[in-house]
Amino acid sequence: MLQQNALKIFNHDWSDLSKIKLHLKGTDFQLKVWQALLRIPSGSASTYGALADTIHSPKASRAVGTAIGSNPIAFLIPCHRVIRSTGVIGDYRWQSERKIAMLGWEAAQMLGE
């Protein structure tokens, strides 16, 4: 049942995602960053600095990057939606090519709506 709920993410049926429960362990700072990641809309991107501003830590963009890199759950907590302020995609824990593909897939989904 849990796997079927998780697969709904890829089918774009997000109406029943409240049934997916996660138990995340992290520092208070990491949890704050991961919560901020959840507020970045699908098909959009943000920067490390903008995310630092969002969590009221404007000088912590490097720490934000470290917290993002510690995210244990790719895609569900969308760390792939954060890029460098220069527009460069940047590194990704699960390979940069995958990050580019995920961003492209989300953008294509938004265009198809």
The domains of the chain are located at: 24-112
CA atoms within 13 A on the CB side of 18: 2
Give percent of the chain above pLDDT 90: 53
Beta bridge partners, 82, equal 46
Angle between helices 28-38 and 61-69 (to 10 degrees): 80
Residue 48 corresponds to which tokens in the numbers above? 């490390």
- For residue 52, the model assigns a pLDDT of 98
- For residue 17, the model assigns a pLDDT of 57
Residues 73-87 have a mean pLDDT of 91
Residue 55 corresponds to which tokens in the numbers above? 């969590």
Q: Clarify whether 79 is annotated catalytic.
A: yes
Residues 27-42 have a mean pLDDT of 94
pLDDT reading at 99 higher than 80: yes
Instruction: Tell me what the pLDDT averaged over the chain comes to.
Output: 85
Which residues are CB-neighbours of 3 under 8 A, at least 6 positions away?
Answer: none
Residues 71-81 have a mean pLDDT of 89
pLDDT reading at 4 higher than 60: no
Domain 24-112, CATH: 1.10.10.10
Catalytic residue among 79, 82, 102, 103: 79
SS3 of residue 100 by DSSP: helix
- For residue 16, the model assigns a pLDDT of 57
